[in-house]
Amino acid sequence: MTKKDKKTISNTVASLFLLVSLFLYWIVFKSTNFYILLSLIIAAPVIERIIYSILPDKKSKKSSSGKKKGKNKKLNNISPNRLREDKYIICSGLEELSWREFERLCFLYFKAKGYKPKETKEGADGGVDLIIYNKHHEAEAIQIKHYIGSGNQITVSQIRELHSAKRNQGCVLSRFITTSGYTKDALRQADDYQMLCYELNWVKNNIVKWQNEKKGKAL
């Protein structure tokens, strides 16, 4: 709300207050008390200032909106194909990573946890970004989507894509990792396929936690 709008509204309310008060003073109660009349006249500008002060200020909203836009602009400036050295990836927040860097971060995480990860060739993965081998030497296909801050969710078609790609890669199990979430239909389909689905909270509680531990040891 602009200052002009606030002033108009507060003046209108104060004027209505004064008119109603004078009507009651003269017509209804037929009062002639000078002090009551003086009090009503003094109260009008006071009410006007109170109304003006409690009305929302457009300037504060603009400031908040500007900060939000600035943050989104920062995210959009990251090249999706950027791939820095591992030491920089480990020390970066999720919002500072490109999709390729987040895939690399997942690779480093699983390697540190004792798996034997293998990165697939770019463009030829068929929906599989990473293959890991668990303690039983079973191959697990992993698809990774870095959607943080985008509002995008994993859909049924992406779950089915990974399920088909898993078999093409000769993998027994599959996992999906995203920095966003899943639609209800996608989760139901993943459950049918016995596919593990990890969303943003899992990433923060596991991968980001591991990042912080690594950074702590490096200091």
Share of the chain above pLDDT 70, in %: 87
Domain regions of the chain by residue span: 3-56, 86-218
- Residue 62 amino acid letter: K
Least confident of 39-43, 55-59, 137-141: 55-59
How far apart are the two ends of the chain, measured CA to CA in Å? 49
Work out the angle at residue 37's Cα, subtended by the Cα atoms of residues 32 and 39, and round it to the nearest 5 degrees.
145
One-character DSSP codes across 148-187: TTT--EE-HHHHHHHHHHHHHTT-SEEEEEESSEE-HHHH
80-89, 123-132, 205-214 — which is least confidently predicted? Answer: 123-132
CA distances from 46 to 15, 18, 26, 28, 126 (A): 11, 11, 22, 24, 71
Model confidence, pTM: 0.64
Rounded to an integer, what distance in angstroms lies between the CA atom of residue 132 and that of residue 127? 15
Q: How confident is the model at residue 28 (pLDDT cuts 50, 70, 90)?
A: confident
What is the CATH number that goes with domain 86-218?
3.40.1350.10
Contact 102, 144 (CB under 8 A): yes
Mean pLDDT for the stretch of residues 1-6: 77
Contacts (Cβ under 8 Å, ≥6 apart) of 169: 120, 126, 128, 131, 139, 141
Q: How confident is the model at residue 78 (pLDDT cuts 50, 70, 90)?
A: confident
Mean pLDDT to the nearest integer, 61-81: 55
Question: For the residues 27-37, what does the mean pLDDT come to?
Answer: 79
> Which residue from 143, 217, 141 is spatially nearest to 179, judged by alpha carbons?
143
25 within 8 A of 32, measured Cβ to Cβ = no
Q: How confident is the model at residue 218 (pLDDT cuts 50, 70, 90)?
A: low
Q: What's the mean pLDDT when you consider all of the chain?
A: 85
